[in-house]
Amino acid sequence: MTYCLGIVTRYGLVLAADSRTNAGVDYISTYQKLFDFSVPGQRVIMLCTAGNLSMTQSVLYSIEQDLKSDEIENLHTLPTLYEIARYLGDKIRQVQERDRPWLEKDGIDFRCSFLLAGQILGHRPSLYLVYTQGNFIEATPETPFLQIGETKYGKPILDRTITFETPLDAVAKCVLLSIDSTMKSNISVGPPINLMMYETDSFVVQNQLKLRVGDPYLAKIRRLWEVSVRQAFEQMPDVEWQHYLNEDAHEEVFTD
């Protein structure tokens, strides 16, 4: 399992992904899941992957081969992010058509999904989620974030914090807290964490980093977040038990 998320705001894009692909008692493996296919000054294209690793690797390989061989349709020639999302969906279908029957035969989960984010000259920044079936959806100002992988643990903080007007630096902090919350609750998600931040109309990914196991910043935000959540919890008013008991006492109960 993995956890990847992307957020689009008025000010740009933030994408992040963990790197864990397997987490057993005595075996943990990692693989990079966030990739930059940008052409500085012309287009920014970032991809996040989740799901069956052999599937996502095959899709990425096919994409890279199209770039190397200068195919008519590739990440650097298609005119919009929408058409790139369709292209990516077609790549997923092609790989699944070849490999899916053999994986299903042995009961192996063949599903995979991608986050596609970026901006092409003359267009606004966009964020898409491409499903394992090859279809896709786009993030909107009303729902500015998309997730793939182990999504449930990191979603509450996004729901309560992120809007289309949130500044990028605040978005980046929220993204890392969302990933940390997921790592806290699920061993199948873990570092290194890759993070990219793109500013609207800059057409270059100027800010990116990799946070490894034991990184001081990850440890710091986890400690501060746990303290802050505990303090907020302690400030919550106690349940007003007597109030509700008194209300119940005045209700008339009818029986057949």
Q: List pLDDT tens digits, range 121-158.
A: 999 999 999 999 999 999 999 999 999 988 999 999 99
Average pLDDT, the chain: 90
The strand order across the sheet containing 145-149 reads 145-149, 3-9, 12-17, 193-199, 207-211
Percent of the chain exceeding pLDDT 70 equals 91
Would you place residue 83 in the very low, low, confident or very high pLDDT band (cuts 50, 70, 90)? very high
* Helical residues (DSSP H) of the chain, grouped into ranges: 53-68, 81-105, 155-161, 168-185, 216-235, 241-249
Question: What's the CATH number for 3-249?
Answer: 3.60.20.10
The CA distance from 242 to 201, in Å, is 58
pLDDT score of 10 more than 90: yes
Domain definitions of the chain by residue range: 3-249
Reported as a single tens digit per residue, the pLDDT across 11-61 is: 999 999 998 776 454 556 788 999 999 999 999 999 999 998 889 999 999
pTM of the model: 0.88
The CA distance from 5 to 181, in Å, is 13
Q: What is the pLDDT of residue 48?
A: 96
pLDDT score of 251 more than 60: no
